[in-house]
Amino acid sequence: MKAAQAGDGAAYAQLLKLAVPIITRVVSSQHPYGLEIDDIVQDVLLSLHYVRHTYDPGRRFIPWLATIAHHRLIDAQRRRIRITQNEDAVPELLETFSDDQTNWEVAGQGDPELLKRAIADLPIGQRHAVELLKLQELSLKEASAVSGISVAALKVAAHRGMKALRARLTGEAPSTKEKAE
C-alpha cells in the first residue's frame, strides 16, 4: 500500500488483486444478497482508491480495508432497503379483464387434441360451419360460397357449434334443445 500511495501502479494492481478475496469474504459473510456481492466488492475497491491517502503506513492495512468494506456494505444494505421499501412484490396478474375471453393467453390455449376430437364429434352442419368460419377464418360470404349453405344457416350452425364445443371442453352439459339440434 505504501508503494501504491507513492504511485507504483504494478504494486497497486497487485494489492487490489490481493484485497478482492478479503473484501469478498467480509461482504459475503455479512450480506445475504449474493447477487450484489460483485457490485459491493467493486464499490469497496473504488472507495479504497479514493481514500487511499487516508491510509497511515504506520498502522495495519487489514483493519483499514475491513472498515471501508464494512461501511460500503452498510451503504449497500441501506440502498437495498430504500429500494425495496418502495417496491411491492406483485404476483403475476392472472386476469386482464373479468371476461374469460380476454384471458386465454393467461389460461393457456388448452389441449389441441381434445379440441380436434370435440370438433370431429360435432354434427356435420355445425362442424362445417366451425371449420370454415373459425378455423379457416373465411367470411360468411366466402363460407357460403364454398359450402353452398346460406349465410343465415351458417351463422346459426357456427353459433350452436361453438356453444356445443364450449360445453364439451368446459364440462358443462349442453341443453337438451342444443342436443336435439
Partner 1 sequence: MSKIRTDELILQLASEPAPVRHLRSPMTRTAIWLAISLPWVFAIVFVMGLRPDLRAQMSNAHWLIEQGAALATALMAAMAAFCAGVPGRPRWEHLLPLLPLAVWLGALGQDCLQGWISYGSAGLTLHPDWQCLPGIIMVGMGPAVAMAAMILRGAPLAPMTTTALGALAAGGLAEVGLRLFHQVDASLMVLVWQAGTVVGLTLIAGLFGRRVLRWRHADVRKHAFDAKN
Identify the CA nearest to 162 among candidates 143, 132, 150, 148: 132
Minimal distance, residue 32 CB to partner 1, in Å: 18
Minimal distance, residue 55 CB to partner 1, in Å: 8
Q: What is the crossing angle of helices 37-50 and 9-30, to 10°?
A: 140
Minimal distance, residue 88 CB to partner 1, in Å: 23
| Cβ distance to partner 1 smaller for residue 1 or 167 | 1
Q: Which residues are near partner 1 by CB under 8 A? A: 4-10, 12-13, 16-17, 20, 35, 38-39, 41-43, 45-47, 49-56, 59-60, 63-68, 71-72, 75
| Cβ distance to partner 1 smaller for residue 39 or 100 | 39
Query: Given CA atoms 43, 45, 46, 47 in this order, what sign does their dihedral have?
Result: positive
Minimal distance, residue 36 CB to partner 1, in Å: 9
| Cβ distance to partner 1 smaller for residue 13 or 145 | 13
Identify the CA nearest to 169 among candidates 121, 105, 133: 121
- Are the beta carbons of 89 and 139 closer than 8 angstroms? no
| Cβ distance to partner 1 smaller for residue 28 or 103 | 28
Torsion of CA 19, 21, 23, 26, to 10 degrees: -140
